[in-house]
Amino acid sequence: MNADSRRLRRHLRAELRSAALYEALAEHADQEFRDVLLRLAHGERRHARHWIDVLKSHGADTDGLETESVSWRARTLVVLARLLGTRGVVPLLERGEAAELTRYQDEPHAFEGLVDDEVGHARMVSSLAPGWRARTASTLRAGVFGMSDGLVSNLSLVLGVSGANPDHSVVLIAGLAGLLAGALSMAVGEYVSVASQRELVLSGVEEADDSTAGSPLGAALASLLTFTLGALLPVLPYMVERGARALIGAVLLSSVALYSLGAGISLLTGRPAWRSGLRQLGLGLGAAAATYAIGTLLGVTLD
């Protein structure tokens, strides 16, 4: 299979997955959203048929390509839609449509009007919940980065203090102190950031509807809760174990959480889940290893 055929198959797979996603969401959506979601699914199916025709013209075997199983991303979005409502997943749907636009910009086999179709799809998605969309995006961003910051910063803190080889109680107290200080700091920072943005909009410095600035309280609470959850994970092993076992437990538990968080972030970015997961894992463990090394050096120096 040459590079051209592989690219065309990726286009086809993306369209089929998008169609399956919209159809799955439509099954559980209110009537006001169902019609739009089904129209989007119909458009994606039409695009998929185009790529099947192109593949056939290249002599490719297209048997079995007309269907695509529902991806893990689609299943996750359906679950989120049930919990948050269809409006709650609009920012994530927009990310997917944005990826479609960039995918076809320089595609020589795209039919005339394909990019315009995708622009129309993006507008249809945005129309599902224009005000709620921005507020949800603000809260979601605060939650995701709160979890990431809490996990990485407290893992680094706990390992850094452990490297200095103090008493077990010192490591535990340091981890809990880092959790409380970091969570409160993140919450205050998010509140001030979003509140300032709203004030700029209301004052006329930024031209936008004030509803698009997001909720300061929602962003602060999301940041507080998710930072606390992320920062708690490296501390948990020290609540039940001591010494090397606690340290190894903190690293293993945090590694699973780091990879899972990175894979989850791919819902926002549209990147492959495994790649985002490995990147988050590598960066988090790299920071923790550096602080552990520094803590060890300081412990030796102070002895």
Ordered DSSP codes for 70-120: PPHHHHHHHHHHHHH-GGGGHHHHHHHHHHHHHHHTT-TTPPTTHHHHHHH
Residue 108's domain is classified under what CATH number?
A: 1.20.1260.10
Domain match, 153 and 281 both: yes
| Cα 202 from Cα 191, distance rounded (Å) | 16
Confidence at residue 74, expressed as pLDDT on a 0 to 100 scale: 80
Q: Which of 86, 105, 128 is the C-terminal boundary of a domain?
A: 128
CA-angle at 89, arms to 114 and 256, nearest 5°: 110
Confidence at residue 129, expressed as pLDDT on a 0 to 100 scale: 64
The pair of structure tokens assigned to 63 is 């048997």
Confidence at residue 260, expressed as pLDDT on a 0 to 100 scale: 92
| Cα 248 from Cα 227, distance rounded (Å) | 22
Low-confidence ranges of the chain (pLDDT < 50): none
Domain match, 73 and 90 both: yes
Domain match, 154 and 292 both: yes
Domain match, 233 and 94 both: no
Fill in the amino acid letter for 113.
G
Do residues 281 and 275 touch, judged by C-beta distance below 8 A?
Answer: no
Fill in the amino acid letter for 130.
P
| Cα 165 from Cα 297, distance rounded (Å) | 10
Confidence at residue 49, expressed as pLDDT on a 0 to 100 scale: 92
Confidence at residue 213, expressed as pLDDT on a 0 to 100 scale: 56
Domain match, 10 and 68 both: yes
Q: How many domains does the chain have?
A: 2
Domain match, 272 and 184 both: yes
Q: Which of 128, 154, 181 is the C-terminal boundary of a domain?
A: 128
Q: Show the domain range for 61.
A: 3-128
Which is nearest to 161 in space by CA: 62, 263, 250? Answer: 250
Domain match, 156 and 237 both: yes
Domain match, 214 and 252 both: yes
Confidence at residue 283, expressed as pLDDT on a 0 to 100 scale: 94
Predicted TM-score (pTM) of this structure: 0.64
| Cα 294 from Cα 146, distance rounded (Å) | 25
Domain match, 257 and 166 both: yes
Domain match, 137 and 286 both: yes
Domain match, 163 and 295 both: yes
Q: What is the DSSP-derived secondary structure letter of residue 47? A: H
Which is nearest to 40 in space by CA: 53, 22, 66, 13? Answer: 22
Domain match, 115 and 146 both: no
